[in-house]
């Protein structure tokens, strides 16, 4: 027993205990930090202070000497993408031992959904509605990254994303501000813990501040136009929560917000972030976005770009040379005061102190941290909890293990693709594909494999014949469709949302065999896939599920685990409906159900003139919050503690949730509200809370929620939360559409 416990300890996250680390486990006191900053800065030259605001990347081994030289002079404060521990240690040694003041460098890296152990893409993680597990995954990612000399991750990305054409929707938590806030804070806690100086902890970065996900046309880097009220109610919300949660850094976005690029935007960076939220960390620009102020047409050259960015509130410039080349001169010319440089430098040093870098800037690497068994186990669990069961006609799933399965499709055995976009240090070589996992689970002889298409985008149908023949030989077909990982992520946007290549034709050919087909969709975005899946019995939306995606799929298909995930992003019927999200406003002419497809010859549709399309329903294919289980849940007895509350009271909401099927399973119980009349039109529904409840077959649990008046508030065009008395509707249910409803009033 003791032996097993010790083994678990050694394999688990506590593994970092075995790493020799000199840094203090106690957070360094804030006052002491300010004193140390003051003492240090009193010895720094202007150039050295500016050096702290400069971040450089390692372009390759031949540029190392050049970097070392700049580091020696105190001209670099941070390195992005050092690449490996040896390079990081070499550069750090130069900073500590050869620069005049020995100020440590801070090493940053994109640890987006795992370091070596790759978890599902963030959009998939959001579908788990399980912030504790998401947080645990990030603490694993932090430990793995920290063990390789990384102090700082550029995550989480908390851009509200309502357009699946945008490739970076994969990196987001979807369309909802509340869910995004919960997931962002969970990630920050996982990366940073309570004390960033503790072994295995790294600084997080709230990005991309702000509005980047609203890029027009779903085209990356594109313009965004967001009124202040919408900015505050939707886009800023997770960032505000991140600031309150103590996130160490923010990243200013590439995009132009209402005509002012985010990296030169004094309203968002200075007024909101610093003055309203009192943020004490530092802001790094996104890659090159300071120099790009000139490309936007907001600055005439790099010098003016440096001036605008530093004045607006960008503390550290990522990669481009505007700060290093122009700030000193701007100070000497009296155009910017040295106090501004002091303030920005202090912001950077504060985080270096909080990270304990002055005590210990480099970890001593330990074996067995990367891809440790406990890390892989968490990756498998999170993948299980991220995959959304959309359809399961006649309960095809779960399958029994005596079946012979035909494993077909370009994503069935594509470990490199399943890890998803933004994987810098992970590798498909570590990943287990569904085909491999099924062979391990069922025995190689029961798994008949025919990819049908080489890649998701392939159009060569020569593999179809074998795919169809293979399907015919099996009891059940498991059809793995989707996207290569390169089809989502930064600058990887799509104008079509259908399955790429000849996948639809492949699906049709395989389904036409008449064999029962379960489709597994492995993608980085919401896709339009229903037509391709016509005739399939089951659809599991598995996203890009990471290193352990294969075992997770196998667990779900064969009933070792029961699906519990819910969509964090609405799935549209067609790209023409986009942007489509559940928390839209009502309009003055809300759509009438079924009112499309006007018969030919109709002169004037009597129920027309509503917010409808002529050629497709306005309803989504699957709504936000949707996800099936292998059991059913029945909701009843929704009760409110009062039918009205005053501004000091809390409303309690309770509901009975019954597992009315035959298996123990987890349900995500969702609470939404609608503010019926307000001085700003409010969404038709807004997620306010959720609970994951696990129920044995037949069992019922009373699930309780609380709503405070502040939960009912909204922002107009300013920082004050407005709480207006009036009537509200409450919805509790299994997704954003199927709910029990009640009403209450908030009184004066």
Structure tokens at 588: 């003055």
Using CA atoms, how far apart are residues 95 and 73, in angstroms rounded to an integer?
9
Looking at the Cβ atoms of 154 and 672, the one nearer to ligand BGC is: 154
Q: Determine if 425 is a binding residue for ligand BGC (CB under 6 A).
A: no
List binders of ligand BGC among 201-220 (CB under 6 A): 207
Q: Which residues pair with 448 in a beta bridge?
A: 406
Using CB atoms within 10 Å of the CB of residue 126, give its burial: 0 to 12 exposed, 13 to 18 middle, 19+ buried.
Answer: buried
Structure tokens at 236: 């800023």
Coil/strand/helix, residue 25: coil
Name the residue with the smallest CB distance to ligand BGC: 154
Query: Pattern of binders to ligand BGC over 651-670, x per CB under 6 A?
Result: --------------------
Residue 535 DSSP code: T
List binders of ligand BGC among 2-21 (CB under 6 A): none
Using CA atoms, how far apart are residues 202 and 206, in angstroms rounded to an integer?
13
Using CB under 6 A, count the residues that bind ligand BGC: 6
Using CA atoms, how far apart are residues 576 and 745, in angstroms rounded to an integer?
38
Looking at the Cβ atoms of 172 and 547, the one nearer to ligand BGC is: 172
Residue 94 DSSP code: I
Structure tokens at 404: 């012979």
Angle (deg, nearest 10), helices 2-11 and 373-386: 70
Structure tokens at 450: 């025919």
Looking at the Cβ atoms of 181 and 286, the one nearer to ligand BGC is: 286
Query: Pattern of binders to ligand BGC over 150-169, x per CB under 6 A?
Result: ----x---------------
Using CA atoms, how far apart are residues 697 and 664, in angstroms rounded to an integer?
5
- Report the b/e string of 245-270 with b at 16+ CB within 10 A: bbbbbbbbbbbbbeebbbbbbeebbe
Query: Pattern of binders to ligand BGC over 545-584, x per CB under 6 A?
Result: ----------------------------------------
List binders of ligand BGC among 240-259 (CB under 6 A): none
Give every strand in the sheet of 205-209, ordered side by side. 205-209, 249-252, 282-285
Residue 686 makes CB contacts below 8 A (sequence gap 6+) with 178, 583, 672, 673, 674, 675
User: How many residues would you count in the chain?
Assistant: 748
Least distance to ligand BGC, CB of residue 220, Å:
9
* Helix (H) or strand (E) run with residue 732 in it: strand 726-733
Least distance to ligand BGC, CB of residue 485, Å:
16
Are 501 and 528 within 8 A, CB to CB? no
Using CA atoms, how far apart are residues 222 and 356, in angstroms rounded to an integer?
38
Using CA atoms, how far apart are residues 317 and 64, in angstroms rounded to an integer?
20
Of 335, 302, 334, 332, nearest to 320 by C-alpha is 302
Least distance to ligand BGC, CB of residue 417, Å:
21
Using CA atoms, how far apart are residues 479 and 518, in angstroms rounded to an integer?
6
Least distance to ligand BGC, CB of residue 341, Å:
24
Selected from 129, 209, 239, 287, the binder of ligand BGC by CB under 6 A is: 287
Selected from 176, 286, 385, 711, the binder of ligand BGC by CB under 6 A is: 286
Looking at the Cβ atoms of 78 and 381, the one nearer to ligand BGC is: 78
Of 474, 426, 430, nearest to 448 by C-alpha is 474
Active-site amino acid positions: 286
Looking at the Cβ atoms of 287 and 635, the one nearer to ligand BGC is: 287
The rounded radius of gyration (Å) of the Cα atoms in the chain is 27
Coil/strand/helix, residue 351: helix
Are 358 and 352 within 8 A, CB to CB? yes
Looking at the Cβ atoms of 295 and 335, the one nearer to ligand BGC is: 295
Using CA atoms, how far apart are residues 288 and 227, in angstroms rounded to an integer?
26
Least distance to ligand BGC, CB of residue 42, Å:
33
Are 410 and 147 within 8 A, CB to CB? no
Least distance to ligand BGC, CB of residue 155, Å:
8
Looking at the Cβ atoms of 319 and 693, the one nearer to ligand BGC is: 319
Least distance to ligand BGC, CB of residue 490, Å:
5
CA dihedral 321, 323, 327, 330 (to 10 degrees): 70
- Report the b/e string of 404-428 with b at 16+ CB within 10 A: ebbbbbbbbbbbebbbbbbbebbeb
Looking at the Cβ atoms of 287 and 705, the one nearer to ligand BGC is: 287
List binders of ligand BGC among 481-520 (CB under 6 A): 490
Residue 224 DSSP code: B
Least distance to ligand BGC, CB of residue 287, Å:
4
Selected from 13, 76, 91, 110, the binder of ligand BGC by CB under 6 A is: 110
Coil/strand/helix, residue 703: strand
Looking at the Cβ atoms of 199 and 213, the one nearer to ligand BGC is: 213
Least distance to ligand BGC, CB of residue 108, Å:
8
Looking at the Cβ atoms of 122 and 190, the one nearer to ligand BGC is: 122
Least distance to ligand BGC, CB of residue 544, Å:
17
Least distance to ligand BGC, CB of residue 253, Å:
8
Give contact residues for ligand BGC (rule: CB under 6 A). Answer: 110, 154, 207, 286-287, 490
């Amino acid at each position: 027993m003791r032996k097993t416990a010790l083994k678990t300890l050694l394999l688990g996250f506590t593994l970092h205990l075995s790493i020799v680390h000199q840094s203090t486990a106690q957070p360094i006191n804030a006052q002491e930090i300010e004193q140390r900053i003051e003492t240090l800065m009193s010895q720094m030259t202007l150039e050295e202070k500016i050096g702290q605001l400069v971040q450089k990347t390692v372009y390759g081994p031949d540029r190392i000497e050049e970097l070392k030289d700049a580091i020696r002079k105190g001209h670099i404060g941070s390195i992005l993408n050092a690449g490996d521990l040896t390079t990081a240690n070499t550069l750090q040694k130069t900073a500590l031992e050869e620069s005049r003041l020995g100020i440590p460098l801070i090493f940053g890296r994109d640890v987006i959904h795992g370091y070596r152990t790759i978890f599902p893409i963030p959009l998939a993680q959001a579908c788990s509605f399980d912030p504790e597990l998401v947080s645990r995954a990030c603490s694993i990612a932090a430990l793995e990254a920290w063990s390789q000399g990384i102090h700082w991750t550029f995550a989480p990305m908390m851009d509200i994303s309502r357009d699946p054409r945008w490739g970076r929707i994969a990196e987001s938590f979807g369309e909802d501000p509340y869910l995004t806030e919960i997931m962002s804070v969970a990630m920050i806690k996982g990366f940073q813990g309570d004390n960033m100086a503790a072994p295995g902890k790294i600084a997080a970065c709230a990005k991309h501040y702000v509005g980047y996900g609203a890029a027009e046309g779903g085209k990356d880097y594109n313009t965004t136009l967001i009124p202040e009220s919408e900015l505050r109610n939707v886009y800023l919300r997770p960032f505000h929560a991140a600031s309150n949660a103590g996130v160490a850094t923010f990243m200013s976005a590439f995009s132009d917000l209402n005509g002012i690029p985010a990296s030169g935007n004094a309203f968002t960076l200075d007024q909101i972030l610093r003055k309203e939220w009192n943020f004490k960390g530092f802001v790094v620009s996104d890659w090159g976005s300071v120099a790009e102020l000139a490309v936007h047409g907001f600055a005439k050259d790099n010098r003016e770009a440096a001036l605008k960015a530093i004045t607006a509130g960008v503390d550290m410039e990522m990669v481009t040379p505007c700060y290093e080349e122009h700030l000193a001169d701007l100070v000497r010319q009296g155009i910017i005061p040295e106090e501004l440089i002091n303030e920005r430098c202090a912001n950077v040093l504060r985080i270096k102190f909080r990270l304990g870098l002055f005590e210990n800037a480099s970890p001593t690497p330990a074996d067995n941290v990367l891809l440790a068994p406990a890390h892989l186990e968490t990756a498998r669990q999170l993948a299980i909890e991220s995959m959304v069961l959309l359809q399961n006609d006649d309960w095809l799933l779960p399958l029994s293990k005596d079946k012979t399965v035909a494993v077909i499709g370009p994503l069935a055995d594509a470990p490199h693709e399943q890890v998803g976009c933004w994987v810098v240090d992970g590798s498909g070589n570590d990943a287990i594909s569904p085909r491999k996992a099924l062979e391990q689970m069922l025995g190689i002889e029961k798994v008949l494999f025919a990819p049908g298409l080489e890649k998701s985008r392939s159009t060569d149908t020569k593999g179809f014949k074998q795919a169809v023949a293979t399907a015919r030989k099996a009891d059940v077909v498991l059809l793995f469709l989707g996207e290569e990982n390169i089809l989502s992520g930064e600058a990887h946007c799509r104008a079509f949302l259908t399955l790429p290549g000849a996948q639809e034709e492949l699906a049709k050919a395989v389904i036409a065999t008449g064999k029962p087909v379960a489709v597994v969709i492995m993608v980085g975005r919401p896709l339009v896939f229903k037509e391709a899946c016509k005739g399939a019995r089951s659809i599991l939306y598995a996203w890009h599920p990471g290193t352990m995606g294969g075992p997770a799929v196998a667990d779900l298909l064969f009933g070792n685990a029961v699906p519990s995930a819910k969509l964090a992003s609405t799935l549209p019927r067609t790209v023409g409906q986009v942007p489509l999200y559940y928390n839209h406003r009502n309009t003055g002419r809300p759509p009438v159900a079924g009112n499309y497809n006007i018969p030919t010859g109709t002169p004037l549709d009597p129920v027309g003139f509503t917010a409808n399309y002529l050629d497709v329903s306005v309803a989504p294919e699957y709504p936000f919050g949707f996800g099936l289980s292998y059991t059913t849940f029945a909701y009843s007895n929704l009760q409110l503690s009062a039918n009205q509350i005053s501004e000091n009271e809390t409303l309690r909401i309770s509901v009975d949730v019954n597992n009315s099927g035959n298996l123990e399973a987890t349900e995500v119980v969702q609470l939404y509200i609608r503010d019926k009349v307000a001085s700003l039109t409010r969404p038709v529904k807004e997620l306010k809370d959720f609970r994951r409840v696990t129920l044995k077959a037949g069992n019922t649990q009373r699930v309780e929620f609380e709503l405070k008046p502040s939960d009912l508030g909204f922002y107009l065009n300013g920082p004050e939360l407005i709480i207006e008395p009036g009537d509200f509707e409450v919805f509790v249910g299994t997704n954003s559409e199927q709910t029990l409803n009640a009403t209450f009033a908030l009184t004066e």
